[in-house]
Structure 1
Amino acid sequence: MEQLRLQVTDLAFLGPELTLVIAAVVMALLDLMLPESKNRTVFGWFSLISLIVSAAFVVAGLGPSEPKQLLGLSYRIDDFANIFKLVLLTGAALITFMSIGSMKEEDIPRVHVGEFYYLLLPATLGGMIMASSGDLITLYVGLELLSITSYILVAMRKKNTLSNEGAFKYIVLGGISSAIILYGMSFLYGLSGSTAISEINSALGEALTSMGAIVYLAFFLLLAGFGFKIAAAPFHTWAPDVYQGASTPITAFLAVVSKAASFAIVFRIMYGVFAIGPVMDTPFHQDVLTALMTLAAIAMILGNFIALRQKQLKRLLAYSGVANTGYLLVPIAVQFSLTHYTNFDELIFYLLAYLFMNIGAFAVLMILERSTGEEELSGLAGLYFRAPGTAIATVVIILSLAGLPMTGGFFGKLYIMLGSMQTHHYWLSAVMIGTSVVSFYYYFGFIRQMFMRSDYEAREVRTSMPLSITLWICVAATLVMGFYPQGVLAGIEKVFTLQQDLFMLK
C-alpha cells in the first residue's frame, strides 16, 4: 500500500514550496503590524529573496536521481517539475524585481503594496504544485490556489473601472472553466476509480471499449477548461479585458507565470492520461492529437489576425499571447516517435524565450506608463530620440517576438516547426510560418513608432533602476538564446529524461 502520510524526512524535498509558504506568512504578519504610512518597498526585496532561495532549492534537486513520490502518487518531484518550477520562479522573480519602485499609486495603492508582493508568492506556489501533481486532487488544489490569488491581484486597482470589469469577467469565466475541469475529472475518476494519473491511464484502455463516449467527453471537457487557463482561442475572450484592466506587473504575471504553470499540467495530463500506455495506437489517441493540433492552429490564426487591429498595447500583447499559446501547443500536439522525441525540449526552449521577450515587453510598457501615462502604441512615438538605449532594447525584444534570426524567439519557433515536420504534420508547419509572417506587421508597428514618428511634446523617459536592469536582463537572455541555442538545449537534455521524468506508467 502506498505511503499516504508525509514523513519528516520528506520535508527536505519540499524546500522550494515551504520557502514560499513561510515567506508569505511572515510578510502577511508584518504587513498587519506596520502602520499604513510605512513604506512597503522592503516587501518587494523580501519577496525577491524568497523566490531566489526557492529557486536555489530547486537547482539543488536537479539531476539524474529517481523521482520522489510524496503522499503516495499525489506529489511527484522529478526533473519535469523542477524545470517548470525554475521557469515559474524566474518569471516571478523578474516581475517582482521590475515592480520595485516602479509602480504608481493608481496601479497599486500604497497601502496594498505589501499585499501585492506576498500574494505573488502563493500564486507562484500554486503553479509549482501544478507542475509536481501526480494526482487530480493535487492538481486542482494547485490550480485553485493560483486562480484565486490571481483574481485578487487583478482586482487590486479598486478605483479603476477597467480593472473592476476585467476582474469580474476573470472570476466568472475562471470559475466556469474550473468547474468544467472538475466535471471532466469526475468522469475520469468514475472510469478508473482513482485520481492518480498513472492509474487512470491504465484503466482507459479497457474503458475505451465499453465506455468510449465517456472517455471522449472527459477529454474534451478538460481540453476546454485548460484551453481557458492557457488563453487558447476560442477560449481566450477573457484575456484582452483582464490584461488591460490589471496593473502591468500583474498582467505580466498572468501572461508568463500563470500560462507556464498551465502548460506544465496540460503537458502532464495530455501525455500522462491520454497519449501513452494502453490508449496508444487507438483511434482515440489520434483524435486527441488532432484536437490539440486544431486548437493550436486556431490560436495561431485568430491571435495574430486579431492583433493586427489593436492599438492598445496590453490588448495587443494579449492577442500576441494567444498566438504564442498556439505555438507552444504544437510540441504537445505532435506525438513522440523514434524520429522525434524532443517535444519537451522544444516546449521549454520556446517557453523560456517567451518568458524573457514578454517580460521585456511589459518592462517597456511600464517605462512608457511612467513617462507618458499612456498604454497606446502611439505612446512609443519618437522613443529612439528620447531614450536610444531603451529603444534599442525594445527592438531586440520585438525581433524575438516576431521570430527573426539570432534571437531566442526565432530558434524557439524553428525547433517547434522542425519537430512538426519530422512527424509529417506539414500543414501545421505551414500555419506556423504563415501566421509568423502576419505577426511581422503589428510587431514592426513598434519599430515604426519609435524610429519614424515624433513625440511633439518631447516627454522625458523616466525609469527606475530595477526596471531598466530587468529590461536588459531580458535582452541579454534573448540574445544568448539566439546566438547559443545549442547550449540551452543541451542543458535541458542533460537534466530531463523522457521515460523517468514525464511518463508515469503504472
Structure 2
Amino acid sequence: MDLETLLSYRWSAMTPEFIILGVVAVLSLLDLFLPRSFNRKLLGWLSFASIIAALITVFTLIGDTPVSILYDTFRLDSFAIAFKILLLIGAALAMLLAISYEPEEKLEEYRGEFYYLFLTALLGVMVMSSSGDLITLFVGLELLSISSYILVGMRKNYLPSNESAMKYVINGAIATAITLFGMSYVYGISGTTNIKEMAAALGAIDQQQHLFLLALAFLMIVVGLAFKISAVPFHMWAPDVYEGAPLPVTAFLSVVSKTAGFIIIIRIFIGVFFQVPDLSGNNSLILSLQNYLAVIAGATMLIGNIVALRQSNIKRMLAYSSIAHAGYLLVAVTAFSPFMIETLWFYLGAYLFMTLGVFAIIQVAAWKAKKVQINEFAGLYRSSPFLAVSLAILFLSLAGIPGTSGFIGKLNIFMGALSTEPTHYILASLLIATTVISYIYYFRVLAAVFFRQPQQETKISFSPPAVIVISLCVAVTVILGVFPNIAFDFLHGNFLSFNDFIQ
C-alpha cells in the first residue's frame, strides 16, 4: 500500500478505536515507569475518561454515510455505531466498578495491568462490531478473548480465580479452534475472506457438495459462538468463571462479552449465511437450519433457569441467569423476524443496565465476602434500604415484570417469534414458561433481602462510583420500562432500521 492510498482513507471512522488504542499505549508505559507508591486508581480514571471520549466520538459519527476503509475490512455503518454505543456504555460502567473494587487480597501490584487489559478487551469488541472481513473479525475476537483470560485470573492469590482462568482458557481455545475451522470452510468455498464478496460468491453456489460443506461450516461456527454467549451445551465454563473472576470482570463478561458474541452472530448469519441457498435451492440456508438453533435456544432457556434454582452463591446464580438470557436472545435469532436487530439491540441494552446494576450492588453489599452467598444478603433492607429497593427493581426487570425494561425486551422477542412464518409457538411458550421459573430464584433473593433477619450487623460503606452505577442503572431500567419509545425512536430516527447493514 503506497502513501497516497494510505492517506486517502477516511481515518476519522476509526477515531473511537484510536482513542482507546492510544490510551492503552499510554497506560502500559505509565504503569511500567511509575513508582509502586503511585496510586494506580488514577490510571483507572484516565481509562474511564478515554471510554467517555470514545463514546462522545461515536455519537458524532451518527448520521454519516457508511464508510469502508482498508479494502473493506473495517466498516462503519449504522449497525457498528449502534452497538458501539452499547459496548462503550457497558464498559464505562464496568470501569467505574473496577475503580472502586477492593478485594480482600490487594490488587495494587497488578491494578495498572487490569485497566489497560480491560481497554484492550474493549478494543477487540469495537473492532468486531465494524468488521467487514473474517480476518478482522477473528482478530477482534482474539483480542477480546486473550485479554479476558488474563483478567479472569487477575486475583493471583485467590485459588478459585486461578481455576476459573484455566477452565476459561481451555474451553475458549477449543471453541476458537472450532469457529476458525468453520470459517476456513467458508473461505475455501468462496475464495475470499471479505464478508461482502463472500455473500456474493456463496449466493451463486448450486453444487450440492458445496452446500453440504457450508451447512457443516455453519454448525461449527454456531458451536464456537455458542461458547462465547454461554449457550447450552457449551455453557459449563460460565458459572466457574463468574464465581472466580474479579467482580468487575464478571460484570464485563456478562454484558460486553455477551454483546460481542451476538455482534458476531449477526455479522456472520446475516452477512454470509442468509445469502446461501439451502440444498433444495428454494430457501436460505440459515432458515432451513432454524430447527437446530431452536433446540439450542430452548435448551439454554430451560437449563439456565432450572439449574439457577439450585444455586446458593449469587454469582453462580447470575451466571445461570445469564445463560437463560442468552436463550431468550437466541429465540430472536431463531425467529429471524424483520425487526430482529432492533429487538436484540434493545434487549442487550436493557440487560446491560440490569446486570451491571446488580453487580454494583453485590460489590457494595458483600465486598468483604470471598464467596458471595445469597444468605449474606439477608436483612439488607434494614442496613441499606437504597440497595435493597434498587436490587428489587433490577431483579424484577431481569424477571420480566411489567413496568421494567426487561418486560419490554421479552415482549419484543415474544412478538418476533409469533410474527414470522413458520410461527415459533413452542419457543414462545418456552419463553413464557422459563420466565415464570426465573421468578422463583429472583424472588428467593428478594425474600432474604426484605424478610429475613441479618446474620450479623455490618456497616455498608458506599463508594461514589458504585453509587453512580447503581442509580443510573435503576433509573434507565425504569425509564425504558415505562417509556420504551425513547430507545426505539432514537434507534429508528438515527439508524433507519439498519438499512445500510448489507449494502
TM-score after normalising by structure 2? 0.95
Pairwise CA distance, 1:271: 1.0
Cα distance in structure 2, aligned partners of 1:32 and 1:318: 35
The amino acid of 2:23's aligned partner reads A
Cα distance in structure 2, aligned partners of 1:208 and 1:227: 28
Hey, what does 1:416 align to over in structure 2?
A: 413
Hey, what does 2:168 align to over in structure 1?
A: 170
Q: 2:381 aligns with which of 381, 384, 387?
A: 384
Secondary structure in 1 aligned to 2:239?
helix
Secondary structure in 1 aligned to 2:109?
helix
Secondary structure in 1 aligned to 2:273?
coil
CA contact (8 A) 1:371 1:461 kept: no
1:329-344 aligned at under 5 Å gives the runs: 329-336=330-337, 341-344=338-341
Pairwise CA distance, 1:195: 0.5
Instruction: Tell which deviates more after alignment, 201-210 or 402-411.
Output: 201-210
Cα distance in structure 1, aligned partners of 2:299 and 2:166: 26
Judged with a 3 Å threshold, the aligned counterparts in structure 2 of structure 1 residues 447 and 100 are, in CA distance, closer, same or farther, namely: same
Cα distance in structure 2, aligned partners of 1:249 and 1:433: 31
CA contact (8 A) 2:74 2:131 kept: yes
CA contact (8 A) 1:24 1:118 kept: yes
Identity %: 43
Hey, what does 2:477 align to over in structure 1?
A: 478
The amino acid of 2:305's aligned partner reads N
Tell me the alpha carbon deviations over residues 355-414 of structure 1, each in whole angstroms, 9 at most, x when there is no partner: 000001111111122255550000100000111111011100110011001100011001
Hey, what does 1:28 align to over in structure 2?
A: 28
Hey, what does 1:93 align to over in structure 2?
A: 92
Task: Give yes or no for the alignment of 1:493 onto 2:492.
Answer: yes
Tell me the alpha carbon deviations over residues 24-82 of structure 1, each in whole angstroms, 9 at most, x when there is no partner: 1101111111111221110111000000000111111112x321111122111001011
Hey, what does 1:229 align to over in structure 2?
A: 228
Secondary structure in 2 aligned to 1:207?
coil
The amino acid of 1:359's aligned partner reads L
Instruction: Tell which deviates more after alignment, 478-487 or 276-285.
Output: 276-285
Q: 2:195 aligns with which of 177, 192, 197?
A: 197
Judged with a 3 Å threshold, the aligned counterparts in structure 2 of structure 1 residues 6 and 208 are, in CA distance, closer, same or farther, namely: farther
Cα distance in structure 2, aligned partners of 1:482 and 1:442: 22
CA contact (8 A) 2:276 2:284 kept: no
CA contact (8 A) 1:372 1:459 kept: no
The amino acid of 1:378's aligned partner reads N
The amino acid of 1:487's aligned partner reads I
Pairwise CA distance, 1:152: 0.8
The amino acid of 1:285's aligned partner reads I
Judged with a 3 Å threshold, the aligned counterparts in structure 2 of structure 1 residues 126 and 4 are, in CA distance, closer, same or farther, namely: farther
Secondary structure in 2 aligned to 1:482?
helix
1:22-171 aligned at under 5 Å gives the runs: 22-63=22-63, 65-106=64-105, 109-171=107-169
The amino acid of 2:432's aligned partner reads I
Hey, what does 1:448 align to over in structure 2?
A: 447
CA contact (8 A) 1:192 1:203 kept: yes
Secondary structure in 2 aligned to 1:7?
helix
1:181-220 aligned at under 5 Å gives the runs: 181-210=179-208, 211-220=210-219
Task: Give yes or no for the alignment of 1:351 onto 2:348.
Answer: yes
Gaps in structure 2 of 5+ consecutive residues: none
Tell me the alpha carbon deviations over residues 160-206 of structure 1, each in whole angstroms, 9 at most, x when there is no partner: 11111110111111111111111001100110000011222222244
Tell me the alpha carbon deviations over residues 122-181 of structure 1, each in whole angstroms, 9 at most, x when there is no partner: 100100111111110000000000000001101111111111111011111111111111
Cα distance in structure 2, aligned partners of 1:40 and 1:461: 24
Hey, what does 2:310 align to over in structure 1?
A: 309
Cα distance in structure 1, aligned partners of 2:458 and 2:371: 12
The amino acid of 2:306's aligned partner reads F
Cα distance in structure 1, aligned partners of 2:445 and 2:90: 24
Cα distance in structure 1, aligned partners of 2:320 and 2:299: 12
Pairwise CA distance, 1:352: 0.6
CA contact (8 A) 1:4 1:71 kept: no
Secondary structure in 2 aligned to 1:86?
helix
CA contact (8 A) 1:354 1:409 kept: yes
Pairwise CA distance, 1:498: 4.5
Instruction: Tell which deviates more after alignment, 200-209 or 405-414.
Output: 200-209
Instruction: Tell which deviates more after alignment, 7-16 or 243-252.
Output: 7-16
Pairwise CA distance, 1:311: 0.8
The amino acid of 1:292's aligned partner reads L
Cα distance in structure 2, aligned partners of 1:241 and 1:385: 31
Pairwise CA distance, 1:462: 2.1
The amino acid of 1:203's aligned partner reads A
Judged with a 3 Å threshold, the aligned counterparts in structure 2 of structure 1 residues 101 and 487 are, in CA distance, closer, same or farther, namely: closer
The amino acid of 2:493's aligned partner reads K
Judged with a 3 Å threshold, the aligned counterparts in structure 2 of structure 1 residues 4 and 74 are, in CA distance, closer, same or farther, namely: farther
Cα distance in structure 2, aligned partners of 1:6 and 1:493: 34
CA contact (8 A) 1:327 1:432 kept: yes
Secondary structure in 2 aligned to 1:121?
helix
CA contact (8 A) 2:55 2:85 kept: yes
Pairwise CA distance, 1:9: 4.6
Cα distance in structure 2, aligned partners of 1:275 and 1:232: 21
Task: Give yes or no for the alignment of 1:255 onto 2:254.
Answer: yes
CA contact (8 A) 1:191 1:207 kept: no
Hey, what does 2:326 align to over in structure 1?
A: 325
The amino acid of 1:435's aligned partner reads T
CA contact (8 A) 1:300 1:432 kept: yes
Pairwise CA distance, 1:501: 2.9
Pairwise CA distance, 1:8: 5.6
CA contact (8 A) 2:68 2:75 kept: yes
Cα distance in structure 2, aligned partners of 1:499 and 1:150: 30
1:275-314 aligned at under 5 Å gives the runs: 275-276=274-275, 281-282=282-283, 284-314=285-315
Pairwise CA distance, 1:489: 1.0
CA contact (8 A) 1:28 1:115 kept: yes
CA contact (8 A) 1:202 1:278 kept: no
Pairwise CA distance, 1:446: 1.3
